Amino acid sequence: MSRSRTNSARLFSEAQSLIPGGVNSPVRAFKAVGGNPLFIESAQGCRLRDVDGNEYIDYVGSWGPLILGHAHPDVVRAIQQAALRGTSYGAPTPLEVELARKIHHFFPSMERVRLVSSGTEAVMSALRVARAFTGRDKILKFDGCYHGHSDSLLVQSGSGVATLGLPDSAGVPSEFTSHTLSIPFNDLEALEKAFTKYKNQIAAVIVEPVPANMGVILPGPNFLSELLLLCRKHQTLVIFDEVITGFRLAAGGAQEFFGLSAPLTCLGKIVGGGLPLAAYGGRSDIMKLIAPDGPVYQAGTLSGNPIAVSAGLKTLDILETEKPYGRLEKMAAKLVEGISQAASHSGIALRVQRCGSMLTPFFSDAPVTDFLSAKRSDTSLFGSFFRKMLERGIYLAPSQFEACFVSSAHSDQEIAVTIQRANEALSEVAASV
């Protein structure tokens, strides 16, 4: 079953002499799972093809944006047509107004929207306006939640930071993180204690409503609603980081999924249809502080780029028309059930945690409810499982602390094949323990 990856190995060797670690984003390096990364030549639907001609059923989906699958013909056509009109103007376009209107339609809490180019930029900007609105400095986040790589948020982060075992990042002065608090996810008692200790000092609480950067962790019953109530009581803003959950759990993201409304929201990934685009927005009285209307400065040469906006608009149009969420839910549930049964037959302790079409297999026999319990899972077994699935043509997220994604391009056949190969892989993992 061995697949030749000679060309990938050659490219990785060359890349390491030119690019830090040979990759442009750390998790891609496969350090958490062993082996060398794949270099991808092309993708279509739910399948990837590497530079050695190997094909894989893909459950990464560019880390979440490709809910419609790779190279959806309508999205590609929208990109091509936009490029023919010019790649960037540095001036307002009708498309930006249309996308802002569409975002507000799906996220009514986002009364005003500012487009940016990345989730990191959206979060950084939302924090700035939250501090300006409240006149406070401190920000509270949750252990294991990743909100991009801006300096003040690289404290107990998930994503690649957790994968590489780094509790923080070199090059970040302690003064930059001195106003950042981090507490366990799902812990309302710790949140109440933080408000007591730092009375009238916390500008905002930022949260992934369903964390996906320490693996998929579900919020406990009433955790999010109680968080919103506590913050309202203490006149602290809540920022829902829906870079991953936005348009993923439902058209209106986690806020629609859980029936909630946040003062500020950050979007990314799906909102750009696979191109570099993100957004932040919220109540009008908060957003009016942003320049040129107010004193909070934020700008970007490529913000509202017409090609990215066109891809995002077409993706949201398709989601609104086709309403794929029920089917995505069923396929993801079937996949989780199949992998869980395979693990049970193999005698391996495995919990596959899922919310909507995002999921993570944790090699653990205990509930995974926060960053600490996620880190107790057996990452060595995960690495072995990942490699054996890769050999069988299944491309999972190359980290225990990331999410896998089902797209509308997956069919029942691909789900069935994945379950069958998971059964084989887990049997081999069990035999090697």
Each residue's pLDDT tens digit, 281-317: 999 999 999 999 999 999 999 999 999 999 999 999 9
**Residue 29 carries which DSSP code?**
G
pLDDT for residue 162: 42
Please, what sign has the CA dihedral across residues 14, 17, 22, 25? negative
Residue 55's alpha-carbon distances to 50, 51, 60, 383, in angstroms, are: 7, 10, 14, 20
Q: Centre a 10 Å sphere on the Cβ of residue 157 and count the other Cβ atoms it contains.
A: 25
Strand-pairing partners, residue 366, are none
Active-site residue, selected from the candidate residues 141, 269, 375, 388: 269
Q: What is the β-pairing status of strands 112-116 and 55-58?
A: unpaired
Residue 230 CB partners (closer than 8 Å, separation 6+)? 188, 191, 192, 195
146 is catalytic: yes
Q: Centre a 10 Å sphere on the Cβ of residue 212 and count the other Cβ atoms it contains.
A: 28
Active-site residue, selected from the candidate residues 58, 143, 241, 378: 241
Strand-pairing partners, residue 359, are 354, 404
The percent of residues in the chain predicted with pLDDT above 70, rounded, is 95
* Paired tokens of 135: 């006149």
Report pLDDT digits (tens) over 239-292: 999 999 999 999 999 999 999 999 999 999 999 999 999 999 999 999 999 999
pLDDT for residue 163: 42
Contact 230, 195 (CB under 8 A): yes
59 is catalytic: no
Tell me how far apart the alpha carbons of residues 22 and 32 are, in angstroms, rounded to a whole number: 15
Tell me the H-state helices in 86-219: 94-106, 119-134, 159-163, 174-177, 188-197
Question: In one letter, which amino acid is 189?
Answer: E
Name residue, tokens 């490029």: 83
Q: Centre a 10 Å sphere on the Cβ of residue 294 and count the other Cβ atoms it contains.
A: 14
Q: pTM (2 decimals)?
A: 0.94
Q: Report, as ranges of residue numbers, the positions in the chain whose pLDDT lies below 70.
A: 1-2, 154-169
Q: With H, G, I as helix, E, B as strand and everything else as coil, classify residue 396.
A: coil
Question: In one letter, which amino acid is 432?
Answer: S
Contact 25, 148 (CB under 8 A): no
The number of residues making up the chain comes to: 433
Tell me how far apart the alpha carbons of residues 30 and 13 are, in angstroms, rounded to a whole number: 14
Q: Which domains does the chain have, with CATH numbers?
A: 6-67+324-432 (3.90.1150.10), 73-322 (3.40.640.10)
Tell me the H-state helices in 207-277: 223-233, 253-258
Q: Which helix (H) or strand (E) holds 83?
A: helix 73-84
Name residue, tokens 């507000």: 104
**Mean pLDDT, the chain, integer:** 94
pLDDT for residue 169: 66
What does the radius of gyration of the chain's CA atoms come to, in whole angstroms? 21
Residue 151's alpha-carbon distances to 72, 137, 173, 179, in angstroms, are: 36, 15, 8, 11
What strand order describes the sheet that includes 55-58? 40-44, 47-50, 55-58, 394-395
pLDDT for residue 156: 62
pLDDT for residue 153: 74
Tell me how far apart the alpha carbons of residues 111 and 207 are, in angstroms, rounded to a whole number: 20
Q: Which helix (H) or strand (E) holds 146?
A: none
Q: Dihedrals φ, ψ of 251, to 5°? A: -60, -35
Active-site residue, selected from the candidate residues 146, 280, 325, 395: 146
Q: With H, G, I as helix, E, B as strand and everything else as coil, classify residue 100.
A: helix
* 376-391 b/e (C-beta count within 10 Å ≥ 16 → b): ebbbebbbbbbbbbbb
pLDDT for residue 413: 98
Q: What is the β-pairing status of strands 404-405 and 237-242?
A: unpaired
Tell me how far apart the alpha carbons of residues 7 and 49 are, in angstroms, rounded to a whole number: 12
314 is catalytic: no
Contact 88, 305 (CB under 8 A): yes
